Amino acid sequence: MKRRFFYEYDFGDGWAFTIEIKKIVDYDRDYPTIKRFKGDYNPIEDCGGVYGLELILYYKDHPDEAPDIYLEQINLLEKFNQEDIQDRLEDFKSDNDFFLL
C-alpha cells in the first residue's frame, strides 16, 4: 500500500498537496475525516497558486502597498473551517466515485 499520495488541484495555478497516511486504524465511519490541516486559509481559485496566496496574505497585512487586483482577492480569503469541511465530508460515502468540497 502506498503511504504517500500526491494531489494536484487547479492545474493552472499548480496547487500541489502531499497526502500522507500516518497510521491505519479501525474506523467506524464510511467517510474520510480531517486530522490535521496546515495553514489558515482555503486555496483561492485563480490566485497564482501558493506564491500568489502568499502575496495576498502579505497584502492583507499591508493593504496600503497592495495593487487593486490583490485588494479584490483579499476579499475572497476564507478561513479554513475544519468543522465545515468535516460536515461536507460526511456526505461522502465510500461507494461514491467522487465528491466536491
Residue-wise pLDDT for 51-98, tens only, equals 888 999 999 999 999 999 898 899 999 898 888 888 877 876 655 555
Q: Count how many domains the chain has.
A: 1
- Domain annotation covers residue 22: no
Confidence of residue 19 (pLDDT cuts 50, 70, 90): confident
- Domain annotation covers residue 101: no
State the first-to-last Cα distance of the chain, in angstroms, to the nearest integer.
26
On the 0-12 / 13-18 / 19+ scale of CB atoms within 10 A, 89 is middle
For 65, the domain range is 40-90
- Domain annotation covers residue 18: no
- Domain annotation covers residue 66: yes
Mean pLDDT of the chain: 81
- Domain annotation covers residue 31: no
Residue-level pLDDT at 63: 94
Matching residue, cell 486504524: 25
SS3 55: helix
Percent of the chain with pLDDT over 90: 19
pTM, rounded to two decimals: 0.63
